[in-house]
Amino acid sequence: MNAQALSAGFFKNFIARPGGAQPFSRESIEKMPRTAGARVFRSVCPYCGVGCGQLIHVREGKIVHIEGDPESPINRGTLCPKGAATYQYVVNPARLTRCLYRRPYSDHWEEVSLDWAMDQIARRIKETRDATFVDRLPDGRVVNHCLAIASLGGATLEVEENYLIKKLLNGGLGILSIENQARI
Ligand code: SF4
């Protein structure tokens, strides 16, 4: 490129400002925020009872960004680390989308169908509960519990999922050992 062409390209990227022309690279001029052109929907963080407000940015039917809602009286735009990572849970190429199963004594995971996995879970829960359910203690007190099954939830279980787990496992099946790793 000769000096004249180089100079023309250079000055093309100058932008007139009140204080004088400022140089910008083409990349700087063409850069846009990732939320540019997105529609914003007001929502609530799904993870705990605090109920922080979130803004969901959607472009062409896809979520492109999630952040705290500055107008929410609950969180005033802030989110805890879990709520701030909501986007990564929703849009993540590393998310497992298939059921994996490791057989007893196996050293590897194998892919199984969702139907097979659901059938196994239902079958094993029923067998275990049928074999261990206690309706009365030796002294006659009614307990209706099953101590042979436990449930451990994760931080990204939603409020509704935790409600259903408690209702089904505790109220429905008599399982007492129900825990969740989240501590808020
Ligand atoms: S998980 Fe965090 S961001 Fe979400 S509602 Fe609870 S405190 Fe707020």
Instruction: Supply the residue whose CA is at minimum distance from atom 4 of ligand 1.
Output: 83
The predicted pLDDT at position 88 comes to: 92
CA of 174 to the centre of ligand 1 (A): 30
Q: How far apart are CA 101 and CA 29, in angstroms?
A: 50
Residue 127 pLDDT more than 80?
yes
Q: For residue 56, what pLDDT is reported?
A: 97
Cα distances from 91 to residues 47, 69, 94, in angstroms, run 16, 20, 9
For atom 8 of ligand 1, the residue with the nearest CA is 52
Q: Does domain 39-90 have CATH number 3.40.50.300?
A: no
Q: Which atom of ligand 1 is nearest to the CA of 78?
A: 3
Contacts made by residues 64-73, CB under 8 angstroms, sequence distance 24+: 64/34, 64/35, 64/38, 65/34, 65/35, 65/38, 66/90, 69/42
d(CA 16, CA 21): 4
Q: Where in the chain is the domain with CATH 3.30.200.210?
A: 39-90
Residues pairing with 15 in the sheet: 22
**Shortest-distance Cα residue to atom 6 of ligand 1:** 48
Residue 13 has pLDDT above 70, yes or no: no
Q: How far is the CA of 86 from the centre of ligand 1 (A)?
A: 10
Write out pLDDT tens, residues 33-90: 989 999 999 999 988 889 999 999 999 999 999 999 999 999 999 999 999 999 998 8
Residues near ligand 1 (Cβ within 6 A): 45, 47-48, 50-52, 75, 79-80, 82-83, 184
Q: Which helix (H) or strand (E) holds 152?
A: strand 142-153
Amino acid identity, residue 168?
L
Q: How far is CA 146 from CA 115, 130, 137, 149, 165, in A?
A: 26, 9, 12, 7, 15
- DSSP 8-state secondary structure symbol assigned to residue 166: I
DSSP run (H or E) holding 160: helix 159-165
Q: How many CB atoms lie within 10 A of CB 169?
A: 19
If you take atom 3 of ligand 1, which residue's CA is the nearest one?
A: 83
Map tokens 């939320």 to a residue.
Answer: 35
Between the two ends of the chain, the Cα-to-Cα distance in Å is 62
CA distance 136 to 126: 19
Atom of ligand 1 at shortest distance to CA of 83?
3
Mutate to test the pocket of ligand 1, among 66, 76, 79 (most ligand atoms within 8 A of CB): 79
Q: What was the pLDDT predicted at 19?
A: 63
